[in-house]
A and B are shown apart, each in its own frame.
Chain A
Amino acid sequence: MDDTFLLVVRTLDATLRVATPLIFCAMAGLYSERSGIVDIGLEGKMLAGAFAAATVAALTGSAWLALGAAVLISMSLALLHGFACITHRGDHVVSGVAINILVAGLTIVLGNAWFRQGGQTPSLPADARFMSMDFPGAEAMSEIPLIGQIYAELISGHNLLVYAGLAAVPLTAWVVYKTRFGLRLRAVGENPAAVDTAGISVVWLRYRAVMICGVLTGLAGTYLAIAQNAGFSRDMTAGQGYIALAALIFGKWRPWLAFGACLIFGLLDAVSIRMQGVELPGIGEVPVQAIQALPYVLTVVLLAGFIGKAVAPKAIGQPYVKER
């Protein structure tokens, strides 16, 4: 019994670790998409952020400088997306695809040219990374069953960015629902003409939204490259940007629901590793690939309207043209 409990706690712990980049990216996508800018490019921005973080950490040895670089790079890509979609009214999806493909190629080219390790960056020492932090008394508490174990295994012992990711959710919920900026953000995604009529700049509002999106994807990349792993490896995001996008849609473009979806998808990921080769009673062995594909299948089923209805912001993907 006790072992089972510990297993559950550890699985949840692993869930939190794999869900963190998803949470950052889903919140990033939320700002962008709520303002009416479709963001297929979460994947690319996160990958670029990861590469920038690993590169700067390898060169300077400072995790904080690395974080700054990642945020800067992801934000400039977000601004490029904004430049294409907001200023030049280009197709949002095309721009996002372009960013993803560009980054997938460029990170390997630059990484190989600078470090000559086939696209990887050098393995980072502990002090150039965000390492896990043990909360006071975690060691002592771990002896206490239930509460102590939850405290020691699940709550304590993560790195700073995991807690930052968790904090991003209530913060986003507050910004989007309780501030003037948030009200305008939601309005501009539903009816930009009304926002414009109120004398608020649609362009500037949307630019701010994509910049926030850039910052958050930069944090996701930082987490991947210098917190969860000790360096950058090619294509290390491995579709997580798309999973985050799926989570955002699954969460109906709302912060807490999207957070829940990230946790579910993270849990599926954590479980799929443990399920390898395990026989389930009555079903037999479930292929790992089936569990890995489940987030995508679930999102399609949701989008098809079979479990609830996900309604996108009304003006999403449409360029706003002031006065013709």
Chain B
Amino acid sequence: MSNAPRITLPAWIDIGVIPVVNILMALVAAGAVILIIGEDPIQAVQVMIQGAVGYDEGIGYTLYYTTNFIFTGLAVSMAFHAGLFNIGGEGQAYFGGLGIGLAVLALDGGAPGFLIVPIAIAAGALFGAGWAFIPAYLQAYRGSHIVITTIMFNFIAAALMVYLLAGVMRESGNMSPETREFASVSFLPFMHEVFAWFGVTITRTPLNLSILWALLCCVFVYVFIWRTRWGYALRTVGQSERAAVYAGISPPRIVLMAMCLSGALAGFVGVNELLGVQHRLLLNFSAGYGFTGIAVALMGRNHPVGIVLASLLFGLLYQGGAELAFEMPTITKEMVVALQGLVILFSGALAYMSRPWVERLYLMARGGAERRAA
């Protein structure tokens, strides 16, 4: 690593302080934008927080967005651990949705729900993994760069889905590019329905059982990466391919494994969006969640716990941003997209910019403490 630290900072500064400093810089930059367009950033933050967590419905929506970001954030981080940059989360999520749609449309005529849902989830994983497999294979065995091929595959997926949904798969008589509605046996229960089973009434929101699946995936990713030999091999390849070869690990196979798992995780966006909320396959349901996954993974430092926290923050921003656009019409909801860019910039590309200052502050503080002790 060229960015090797010059001094060792205590872990709490490295994982606690520096990421927070980076995010604060992004937030300050976003605040400057809001000032430029003549609005009050403090008021904007208040509106966003109120809109995202100030009332029941807001919280439901926040958690529903969070679910998507956990899936795509985990997907990006899985590839990152193997030293790969998967920009194709968007296309893999989209294609995974196709798998889910095909599975449900084929089965919902007669099969029971407890059969359809797992098959659909597996189909989403399979299709997402399949869409990641080709770029992974080309990277592993033909030496073509994964960043470029996954970008190309995003566009190919988009073109393919337009073709399918505007033509072959469109419901006859329906003008909008979407399939027929799935039969209700395939629906994942909404959380307000789940709570109603136990006699608890909560507000109706799009939040559904997928969030539990997302949390399970976090546990799976944690165990897989840090507690299995495959995860060990994956991290070894990510750190040093030569060391991996020396240890008898085959990097091409690890590349395939990491990318397929990454694609499968991205494919689960369809579980939340299609089985949970939309109940049909429709155009652009992935809505940029794949790209947000990059910001989430960078911010969450590729650790499941960090990813859940970062996903919560982005869920809050998405829901709060929608509310903000409603309350302060000068600010559109794309402000969140801009902020996302700033987060990627400050906690990704410029991640080490704040380090020298933090180091100096830390040394000064420690020096002061030592003097006092003496």
Q: Give the B-binding residues of A (Cβ under 8 A).
A: 38, 40, 80, 83-85, 88-91, 93-95, 97-106, 108-110, 112-114, 119, 239, 242, 245-246, 249, 287, 289-290, 292-293, 296-297, 299-300, 303-305, 312, 319, 321
Determine the chain B residues whose CB is within 8 A of the CB of A287 once the complex forms.
163, 167
What is the chain A residue whose CB lies nearest that of B352? A88
Closest B residue to A91 by CB, please name it.
Answer: B349
Chain A residue with the shortest CB-CB distance to B321? A105
Collect the chain A residues with CB atoms within 8 Å of residue B335's CB.
105, 109
**CB contact between B147 and one of A40, A99, A105 (< 8 Å): that residue:** A40
* CB of B327, distance to nearest CB on chain A (Å): 15
User: Hey, which chain B residues are within 8 Å of A40, CB to CB?
Assistant: 87, 147, 151
Within the complex, which residue of B38, B153, B334, B349 is in contact with A109, where a contact is CB–CB below 8 Å? B334
Contact between chains at A103 and B341 (CB < 8 Å): yes
User: Nearest-CB distance from B38 to chain A (Å)?
Assistant: 7
Contact yes or no, A88 B353, CB < 8 A: yes
For residue A196, give the distance in angstroms from its CB to the closest CB of chain B: 15
Judge whether B199 is part of the interface by a CB distance below 8 angstroms. no
Inter-subunit contact B147/A101 (CB<8 Å):
no
Q: Is the CB of A93 within 8 A of B85?
A: yes
B interface, size bucket: 35 or more
Contact assessment for B332 and A292 in the assembled complex, using a CB-CB cutoff below 8 Å? no
Question: Which of B33, B149, B167, B337 has the largest count of A CB atoms less than 10 A from its CB?
Answer: B337
Which residues from chain A contact B338 at a C-beta distance below 8 Å?
A: 101-102, 104-106, 109
Residues of B within 8 A of A (CB): 2-3, 33, 36-38, 85, 87, 134-135, 138, 142-145, 147-149, 151-153, 155-156, 159-160, 162-163, 167, 291, 294-295, 298, 330-332, 334-342, 344-345, 348-353
A188 to B163, CA, bound (A): 44
Q: Report if A95-B334 is in contact (Cβ < 8 Å); known contacts: A101-B341, A293-B159.
A: no
| Chain B residues whose CB sits within 8 angstroms of the CB of A299 once the complex forms | 148, 152
| Contact present for B156 and A297 (CB under 8 Å) | yes
Query: Which chain B positions have C-beta within 8 A of A119?
Result: 332, 334
Taking the nearest CB of chain A, how far is it from the CB of B6, in angstroms? 11
**Contact call B37/A110, Cβ cutoff below 8 A:** yes
Expressed in whole angstroms, the Cα–Cα distance for A231 and B160 within the complex equals 30
User: Given A101-B344, A113-B331, A289-B162, are A305 and B143 also a contact pair (CB < 8 Å)?
Assistant: yes
A sample of 30 cross-chain residue pairs with beta-carbon separation below 8 angstroms, ordered by A number, consists of A83-B350, A85-B349, A88-B349, A91-B85, A94-B348, A97-B87, A98-B344, A103-B341, A104-B341, A105-B335, A105-B338, A106-B33, A106-B334, A108-B332, A108-B337, A109-B33, A109-B338, A112-B334, A113-B37, A246-B148, A293-B160, A296-B159, A297-B152, A299-B152, A300-B144, A300-B152, A300-B153, A304-B138, A304-B142, A305-B142
Are A98 and B348 in touch, CB under 8 angstroms? yes
Report yes or no: A293 in contact with B155, Cβ–Cβ below 8 A.
yes
CB proximity of B50 to chain A, nearest CB, Å: 20
Q: Does the CB pair A91–B334 fall under 8 Å?
A: no
Q: A95 near B163 (CB under 8 angstroms)? A: no
Q: How far is the CA of A85 from the CA of B353 in the complex (A)?
A: 11
Extra 13 A-B pairs, beta carbons < 8 Å, given A89-B352, A296-B152 = A90-B349, A93-B85, A94-B344, A101-B291, A101-B295, A109-B338, A110-B36, A113-B37, A113-B330, A114-B37, A119-B332, A297-B156, A305-B143
Asked whether A88 lies within 8 Å of B87 as measured between CB atoms, the reply is no
Q: How far is the CB of B87 from chain A (nearest CB, A)?
A: 7
Once the chains bind, are A242 and B155 in contact (CB under 8 Å)?
A: yes
Total A-B residue contacts, Cβ distance less than 8 Å: 159
Contact residues in B for A245 (Cβ distance below 8 Å):
148, 151
The answer to whether B155 and A312 have CB atoms under 8 Å apart is no
Interface on chain B toward A: helix, strand, loop, or mixed SS?
Answer: helix
Q: State the CA gap A304–B146 with chains docked (Å).
A: 11
Q: Are A105 and B149 in contact (CB under 8 A)?
A: no
Contact of B336 with A303 in the complex, beta carbons under 8 Å: no
How many angstroms between the C-alpha atoms of A10 and B204 in the bound complex?
57
CB-CB under 8 A from B336, the residues of chain A are 105
Asked, given contacts A97-B87, A105-B335, A106-B33, whether A113 binds B38 with beta carbons under 8 Å apart, the answer is yes
- Min CB distance, B263 to chain A, in Å? 16
Q: Which residues of A contact B340 (CB under 8 A)?
A: 101-102, 105
**Alpha-carbon separation in the docked complex, A119 to B334 (Å):** 10
Question: Contact between A312 and B145 (Cβ–Cβ < 8 Å)?
Answer: yes
Query: Inside 8 A of B341's CB, which chain A residues have their CB?
Result: 98-106
Known: A103-B341, A296-B156. A84 touches B350 (CB 8 A): yes
**Bound: A98/B349 CA distance, A:** 8
Q: Are A289 and B334 in contact (CB under 8 A)?
A: no
Beta-carbon nearest neighbor of B346 in chain A: A98
Q: Is the CB of B2 within 8 A of A89?
A: yes
Complex Cα distance A249/B152, Å? 12
A105 to B291, CA, bound (A): 13
CB-based contact B159/A290 at 8 Å: yes
Complex interface: chain A residues within 8 A of B337 (CB): 101, 104-105, 108
B2 contacts A319, CB within 8 Å?
yes
Cβ distance A96 to chain B, nearest Cβ, rounded Å = 8
Q: In the complex, how many angstroms separate the beta carbon of A294 from the nearest chain B beta carbon?
A: 9
A113: B residues at CB distance < 8 A: 37-38, 330-331
* CB closest chain-A residue, reference B348: A94
Contact A97 B332 (CB under 8 A): no
- In the complex, the answer to whether B148 meets A289 with C-beta atoms within 8 Å is no
Q: How long is the Cα–Cα vector from A289 to B167 in the complex, in angstroms?
A: 11
Point out the residues of chain B lying under 8 angstroms from A104, CB to CB. Answer: 334, 337-338, 341
Distance (whole angstroms) from the CB of A107 to the closest CB of chain B: 8
| B contact residues around A114 at 8 Å (CB) | 37
